[in-house]
A = this chain, B = another copy of it.
Amino acid sequence: MADPTLRRLILAVALAVVPCLPAMAANDAPQKTAEALSRKALTDDWSYKFLESLTSEIGPRLGGTEAEWRAADWAVARLKAAGMTVHTESFPMTAWLRGVETAAIVKPAPQRLVLTALGGSVATPPGGIEAEAVIFRTYGDLLAVPPGSLNGKIAVVTERMVRTVDGMGYGLANPIRRQGASEAARRGAIAYLHRSLGTDNHRLAHAGALNYTDGVPKIPAAALAGPDADQLERLSALGPVIVHVTLTPTTDDSAHSITVVGEIKGREKPDEVVLIGAHLDSWDLGTGAIDDGAGDAIVSGVGRLIAALPQHPKRTVRIVLFGAEEMDFSDKAYETAHVGEVSKIVVAGETDFGARRVYEMRLPAGAVNSPFGKMIAGLLPPLGVLLVPEAPRHGGSDIQDIGADGVPVVALSQNGLDYFDIHHTADDTFDKVDPAELAQNVSVWAALTYLVAETDVDFRALAKATAKP
Contact = CB atoms under 8 A, between A and B. Distances in A.
A56 B109 contact: yes
Interface in A272-306: 286-287
A67 interface: yes
A230 interface: yes
16 contacts: A56-B234, A56-B235, A57-B108, A57-B238, A59-B105, A59-B110, A59-B231, A60-B111, A201-B427, A201-B429, A203-B425, A203-B426, A203-B429, A227-B430, A230-B430, A234-B430
Please tell me the size bucket of the interface on A. 20 to 34
Interface string A213-254: 000000000000011001100110010000000000000000
Given A227-B429, A430-B230, A431-B227, A60 B112 contact: yes
A58 interface: yes
A57 B235 contact: yes
Nearest to A114: B426
A56 B202 contact: no
Nearest to A238: B57
A108 B57 CA distance: 7
Contacts of A287: 111, 231
A204 interface: yes
B425 A109 contact: no
Interface string A183-220: 00000000000000000011110000000000000000
Copy tally for this chain in the complex stands at 2
| Interface-central residue, A56, A231, A430, A431, by most chain B CB under 10 Å | A56
Contact of A429 (B56, B58, B230, B286): B230
A58 B59 CA distance: 38
A355 to B, nearest CB: 15
A52 interface: yes
Interface in A81-114: 105, 108-112, 114
B112 A203 contact: no
A267 interface: no
Nearest to A226: B431
A430 B234 CA distance: 11
Contacts of A60: 111-112
B109 A57 contact: yes
The 7 closest A-B CB pairs, nearest first, are A59-B111, A203-B426, A227-B429, A56-B234, A201-B431, A57-B109, A59-B109
A427 B56 CA distance: 25
Interface in A326-350: none
Contacts of A201: 427, 429, 431-432
Given A59-B110, A60-B112, A234 B425 contact: no
Contacts of A286: 203
Interface string A107-126: 01111101000000000000
A202 B111 contact: no
A109 B58 contact: yes
A227 to B, nearest CB: 4
Interface string A142-177: 000000000000000000000000000000000000
Contact of A231 (B56, B109, B432): B56
A199 to B, nearest CB: 13
